[in-house]
Structure 1
Amino acid sequence: MLQTKIGGIHPNLDLGVGLPLAHFLEIILNPPKAYTPYNLLDALEPEAVGCVEVEYISTHTGKVLKIHTQVKATKQVLEIVCFNHTPYHLKIFTQKSYFVYGKLSLSPYNNALQMLNPKIIDKPNTIALRFDKDCKKLPAFLRQDQYKTYLDFCLATLTPQNLEKLVSLGVPLQVVQHISEIFHPSIDFALAHNAHKGFCLPHLQALKYIEALAYMCALSSKTFDFPAKFSQHANTRALAEFVNNLPFALTNDQQRAIESIKHDMQGLRATKRLVMGDVGCGKTMVILASVALCAPYKSLLMAPTSILAKQIYTEALKYLPQSIKPLLLLGGANGKQKETFSEADFIVGTTALLYAPLDTSKVALVISDEQHRFGTKQRHALQTLATQAGGSKPHYLQFSATPIPRTLAMMEAKFIATSFLKDKPYTKDIQTRIVDKPQFNALLTHIKAEIGEGKQVAVIYPLVEESESMDYLSLKEGTPYWQKRFENVFVVSGKDNDKEDIMEGFAKGGQLLLATTLIEVGISLPKLSTIVIVGPERLGLATLHQLRGRVARLGGKGYCYLFTHQPTNPRLHNFSQTLDGFEIANLDLKYRRSGDLLEGTQQSGDAFNFLDLSQDSSLIEEVSALFSPTA
């Protein structure tokens, strides 16, 4: 359980308002979209908007209804004009006295003060609040039957007294006061909102605070506490054998991540840890160290592609102690694989793992690599694959080479055990250059020189087939050009059934690879020194970073060329200035917004209505401080 210094924060916590905290915060995060202040006007001037009390004088009916009145306070004549009038208008505007609301203007005919199509107001100096119609679909409103309108329900729920109860959770009183003003506004507040065309900074900051709080509460609800299937087990002897036999030293970040995983396994609870590694930071070695710690119990790993699964399997054969036997499972389990499964200690596969009739009773560790490539349902299915009937679970490790923004990491690390890999085993010197048609000949010369030195080059196209809306050649259109000028040209796209064989053939003896973005994820091409990305402005920065990470995998000099017809694109220029994946994630956040971060259903767009992860790090840190582990 995660707690604040004062009390527990959890979505189902009831503050004594008759609603779970999650629903209470959700109502706050759907504030009024418009305010209409029915303020009494002190001075009657053209363009002024507000209420005046009038006394009826006379009526002129015709195509346009004109009511002559006298303003009670100033004795000025005010002409009320109604277009498309009905008998109802004639009835209400001929009362002895009443309040009208509208905009004052001067008649073009007689220069008299007038108000066009005004509204009768029962209570002046009040404010009408208007909410988005979708508010009626909020779960909290649908589950009650006491209030017929959302407005009544909202104001009865978010009373100043109820809102003040947030202070007991550690929410600053000033934040609560600003939220209270949003739902119980003064005339001055409503006028300022309309003049500003939105919430002023203090009130916007208060909404951001609540949104960050709501998001972190939702994260906490996704954190489960289950007993480990095989608790207090960490095979330190197998780990030492694995590490000692490596032909290279592990980085400090790798060692810290492995130590954290070892500590997790030595506990009683099933751990759920996210290992976030920048491109080329050696995630595979941490994966294999985790498998060694788990032995002699079994480990399962699900990779998003057959190519990546084969690559991890190959690394396992090369580096794991001989006592730990790997098995590759692709496309379903045949009879032979079922037979050898009982003997295998580390089973590597694709989503075929989810459907293979495997005995998982001895599985103590489940791993997903490039976890963001799987849907929410697939990740959940993998996690529950080896869960025992009594509720005990295997340890679950998620690996990703797509860094997330630091602000998001700050929030998620409070609820999901997180390790970061930033140190690189090999020193890379990758130059990123933006080129257009005038620089193409120089690019061609560079490609020939690299191939002449025995290195490999990849050219990435945005589309496979020709497109009328695309200002670049497709993979199919560009292939003949390269095949005329180079030998050993390999062409592959996601549509090819034999793409794994093509990629393996290129890795062994190819010079030039023409492909789509399928090589983005985890492909190891040690001889690849140069990558050319066509139409890079069409791709997210995280994808560009993944593609760039394919070059110079074993260190040394590498080149990334961004071939674009937008050579002054600031987004591409910012990308070319840094190799830091976490900085790239912040840039991607700035340009593409945050997406659906909690469920993972969107990769871009507006996950937050008020919060800006690229700008609000200090506020997020303040909210994050509310959540601290129980001592």
Structure 2
Amino acid sequence: MLSLPSEEGEKFHRLGIGSITALSLIAPTSFEDRRLSHELSANTQCVIDATVEHVVRTPKTLKITFFAHNLECVIEGVIFHPKPYMIHQFPKNERAFFSGKAQWELGKWTIVHPMKISAVGSLIPIYKTPLRIDVMRRLIEKNITIANLIADGLPEVIASELYGIHFPELPKPMSESQLHALKFGELYEYMRRLRLKRRYHNTSYRASGDIRAWMKTLPFELTEDQKNAINEIENDLIAQYASRRMIVGDVGSGKTMVILASVILMQPHRSILMAPTTILAAQLYEEAQKFLPNLRIALVTNATKKGSLEEYDFIIGTHALLHRPLPEAGLVMVDEQHRFGTAQRHALTKLTDNDTSPHYLQFSATPIPRTQAMIDSAHIDVSLIVQTPFTKNIATRIIGKSDFTKLLDHIRFEITQDHQVLIVYPLVEQSESINYQSIDEARGYWEKNFENVYITHGKDKEKEAVLMAFRENGNVLLATTVVEVGISLPRLSTVVIVGAERLGLSTLHQLRGRVSRTGLQGYCYLYSNKSGKNERLESFSTCTSGFEIAALDLKFRSSGDLLEGSIQSGKKFRWADIGEDEVIVREVKNYLAPQKD
């Protein structure tokens, strides 16, 4: 990266940028044409090379008679409500360059509010920034050169296009190639900054487990996406540097098997996995015992008695892992990584008693668009598991008040089939600002008309126990989005999402993913009081892939910001649109690839 002149540092800081490339992305909002005029056009700026022949002051105007050498004619300039000092700006017989708006009135040309100018013969860019306009212009003139942009790492063709945005030969709208250069430059700058955040650490933990032999013992065939992710992880775990990889899989895509395969690969070294809830940790523990029968596996929760974990090959736990001594481990994994704070995730890797870094894998069930994955890969390696072991059959419908009777009939029928129903409410308590019932308002109706109704929400300290009890004995569960990620409910066939238009598409997909976990016919009802067509919900109801839905989410709301820590919402890019510009994202990624450490 090209180092910045120290005297310019404060100006770059005020602009919120840190490189020449970032400076070049601040495009002019307009241009002032300072080229000498060869003819005049009404109500447009003109520039004349003129001699002042006469000046007359009246109570409300200052009139100046010019002889314009470039036009070879006499033109009158007029300034309305002049300040006293202005008369001294037009000494008689002085020849200079003047600019003003040309007007045709009463059969003659006049120039309104003429002013003396010095820079002539070019287009002067106008910038809207925290810096004074002349300071910004000088900053651009000094720093934005093709040579500087190339020295900052950009390809020559992009550097030339960016330079041309600030120093055009003719006034014209921005071209497609210039817009492409702005998008390329913005993505390049962002992905380069992400790469700078990445740290490479030597590791002495090398994978040597026999993954092929283990895969042959499974009672089913893994999907190609699962196999590809396992191969990528295997390559990581035998490398010189500690792995930093994120595995992103849709709901029900079989991430658990990839977790267990990673444990096998890491043999003979120990693996540790942290899950966000006791329920999830317990489910993973059960799966591990089933598919890793030859390994010693421990489950650590707040309820677990403290003792040495040295004898175990695989330790699964909640955040309780952060509060007890852990034995040395070659692989640390975090499931549903977005539900932990950054400090918690880092604490787990630091708590392992190692001289060299363990490998680190994080898993997420919140799909991201391919473009987002390509961008993220500048900071951390990314594997996508798009396929699912079996096709979920979930019917999604948008319903309103008029459909309530039919909905009740459906719920009663599903319960007779020993199936379960989840109803997600937007709030626990009543709110005047939201035109939907809360759980507190609705629970009386459901408890009166149905048996085995369970209730939980985010602030419920017993929510995990409630979910466990509902899984075994419940018919209807009333909850908030606390169930978005978590417990597996094999008998759950129906989810009703109240006020669906208020939730992001990714959240809706996670909630819908709670049903049909074992191949049941599933139903998702999006309940809305809003009349009229909702394009966002209509698009969601016809889409089943979480990765497609993530791309839809980008279409309907701005992308987030990895560098600042949030990737859920908020505008990240000014020029690029990662929902539409996949080709340019790939172009930048490929351009950066040879520079990988």
Q: Structure 1 pair 112/170, CA: closer, same or farther in 2 (3 Å)?
A: closer
Structure 1 residue 233 corresponds to structure 2 residue 207: yes
Q: Structure 1 pair 363/473, CA: closer, same or farther in 2 (3 Å)?
A: same
Alignment of 1:259-278 (within 5 A): 259-278=231-250
Q: Distance in 2 between matches of 1:77 and 1:627?
A: 58
Aligned partner letter, 1:38: R
322-331 or 549-558, which deviates more: 322-331
Runs of 5+ consecutive residues of structure 1 not aligned to the other structure? 1-11, 137-147, 194-198
Aligned partner letter, 2:159: V
Contact 2:300 2:318 in 1 (8 A): no
Q: Shift of residue 427 of structure 1?
A: 2.8
Q: Distance in 1 between matches of 2:569 and 2:115?
A: 43
Q: Shift of residue 322 of structure 1?
A: 4.6
Match of 1:39 in 2: 35
Q: Shift of residue 321 of structure 1?
A: 2.0
Q: Structure 1 pair 125/233, CA: closer, same or farther in 2 (3 Å)?
A: same
Match of 2:543 in 1: 578
Match of 1:5 in 2: none
Q: Distance in 1 between matches of 2:26 and 2:349?
A: 34
Q: Distance in 2 between matches of 1:464 and 1:78?
A: 74
Match of 1:28 in 2: 24
Q: Distance in 2 between matches of 1:378 and 1:67?
A: 73
Match of 1:4 in 2: none
The CA deviation string for residues 571-624 of structure 1, in whole angstroms up to 9 with x for no partner, is 111111111111111111111121103443241122111111121122222222
Q: Distance in 2 between matches of 1:78 and 1:581?
A: 69
Query: Counterpart of 1:300 in 2: which secondary structure?
Result: strand
Match of 1:192 in 2: 172
Match of 2:225 in 1: 253
Q: Shift of residue 165 of structure 1?
A: 4.3
The CA deviation string for residues 239-275 of structure 1, in whole angstroms up to 9 with x for no partner, is 845x466454433322332233233323333112221
Structure 1 residue 163 corresponds to structure 2 residue 149: yes
618-627 or 126-135, which deviates more: 126-135
Alignment of 1:549-568 (within 5 A): 549-564=513-528, 565-566=530-531, 568=533
Structure 1 residue 203 corresponds to structure 2 residue 203: no
The CA deviation string for residues 23-49 of structure 1, in whole angstroms up to 9 with x for no partner, is 232222233344322233333333112
The CA deviation string for residues 87-107 of structure 1, in whole angstroms up to 9 with x for no partner, is 222221455344332333466
Query: Counterpart of 1:341 in 2: which secondary structure?
Result: coil
Query: Counterpart of 2:331 in 1: which secondary structure?
Result: strand
The CA deviation string for residues 303-327 of structure 1, in whole angstroms up to 9 with x for no partner, is 2334323332333344332532222
Q: Distance in 2 between matches of 1:149 and 1:381?
A: 46
Identity, in percent, stands at 40
- Of 159, 183, 190 in structure 2, the residue corresponding to residue 176 of structure 1 is 159
Aligned partner letter, 1:577: T
Match of 1:349 in 2: 317
Structure 1 residue 410 corresponds to structure 2 residue 382: no
Q: Shift of residue 71 of structure 1?
A: 4.6
Aligned partner letter, 2:55: S
Q: Shift of residue 473 of structure 1?
A: 1.8
Q: Distance in 2 between matches of 1:519 and 1:492?
A: 9
Q: Distance in 1 between matches of 2:224 and 2:146?
A: 51
The CA deviation string for residues 403-429 of structure 1, in whole angstroms up to 9 with x for no partner, is 111122234446643322222223311
Q: Distance in 1 between matches of 2:87 and 2:425?
A: 70
Aligned partner letter, 1:349: G
Q: Distance in 2 between matches of 1:456 and 1:120?
A: 81
Contact 2:366 2:506 in 1 (8 A): yes
Q: Shift of residue 183 of structure 1?
A: 2.6
Normalization by structure 2: what TM-score? Answer: 0.89
Runs of 5+ consecutive residues of structure 2 not aligned to the other structure? none
Aligned partner letter, 1:341: L
Q: Distance in 1 between matches of 2:359 and 2:23?
A: 37
Q: Structure 1 pair 490/76, CA: closer, same or farther in 2 (3 Å)?
A: farther
Q: Distance in 2 between matches of 1:313 and 1:50?
A: 78
CA RMSD of aligned residues (A): 3.1
Q: Distance in 2 between matches of 1:409 and 1:501?
A: 36
Contact 2:21 2:189 in 1 (8 A): yes
Q: Structure 1 pair 76/304, CA: closer, same or farther in 2 (3 Å)?
A: farther
Q: Structure 1 pair 122/263, CA: closer, same or farther in 2 (3 Å)?
A: closer
Contact 2:123 2:167 in 1 (8 A): no
Contact 2:77 2:113 in 1 (8 A): no
Query: Counterpart of 1:275 in 2: which secondary structure?
Result: strand
Aligned partner letter, 2:200: D
Aligned partner letter, 1:553: R
Alignment of 1:180-579 (within 5 A): 180-186=163-169, 188=170, 191-193=171-173, 199-230=174-205, 232-236=206-210, 240=213, 243=215, 246-330=218-302, 336-337=305-306, 339-354=307-322, 356-360=323-327, 362-386=328-352, 388-389=354-355, 392-413=356-377, 416-564=380-528, 565-566=530-531, 568-579=533-544
Q: Distance in 2 between matches of 1:69 and 1:506?
A: 91
Structure 1 residue 615 corresponds to structure 2 residue 583: no
Match of 1:91 in 2: 88
Structure 1 residue 124 corresponds to structure 2 residue 98: no
Contact 2:422 2:496 in 1 (8 A): yes
90-99 or 537-546, which deviates more: 90-99
Contact 2:21 2:149 in 1 (8 A): no
Q: Distance in 1 between matches of 2:131 and 2:91?
A: 38
Q: Shift of residue 483 of structure 1?
A: 2.0
Q: Distance in 2 between matches of 1:468 and 1:201?
A: 49
Contact 2:186 2:576 in 1 (8 A): yes
The CA deviation string for residues 428-481 of structure 1, in whole angstroms up to 9 with x for no partner, is 111111112222222221111111211011111122222222222222222222
Contact 2:295 2:314 in 1 (8 A): no
Contact 1:22 1:217 in 2 (8 A): no
Match of 1:80 in 2: 78
The CA deviation string for residues 204-236 of structure 1, in whole angstroms up to 9 with x for no partner, is 111111112222322332333322242x33332
Query: Counterpart of 2:393 in 1: which secondary structure?
Result: strand
Q: Structure 1 pair 125/469, CA: closer, same or farther in 2 (3 Å)?
A: farther
Contact 2:369 2:547 in 1 (8 A): yes
Match of 1:133 in 2: 129
269-278 or 37-46, which deviates more: 37-46
Q: Distance in 2 between matches of 1:234 and 1:67?
A: 90
Normalization by structure 1: what TM-score? Answer: 0.84
Contact 1:170 1:626 in 2 (8 A): no
Q: Structure 1 pair 67/304, CA: closer, same or farther in 2 (3 Å)?
A: farther
Q: Distance in 2 between matches of 1:76 and 1:387?
A: 88
Q: Distance in 1 between matches of 2:398 and 2:338?
A: 29
Q: Structure 1 pair 311/270, CA: closer, same or farther in 2 (3 Å)?
A: same
Contact 1:595 1:605 in 2 (8 A): yes
Contact 1:56 1:93 in 2 (8 A): no
Q: Shift of residue 353 of structure 1?
A: 3.1
Aligned partner letter, 2:340: F
Alignment of 1:57-68 (within 5 A): 57-62=54-59, 64-68=60-64
Q: Shift of residue 526 of structure 1?
A: 0.9
Q: Structure 1 pair 251/123, CA: closer, same or farther in 2 (3 Å)?
A: closer
509-518 or 589-598, which deviates more: 589-598
Query: Counterpart of 2:73 in 1: which secondary structure?
Result: coil
Q: Distance in 2 between matches of 1:52 and 1:326?
A: 85
Aligned partner letter, 1:236: D
Q: Distance in 1 between matches of 2:344 and 2:140?
A: 38
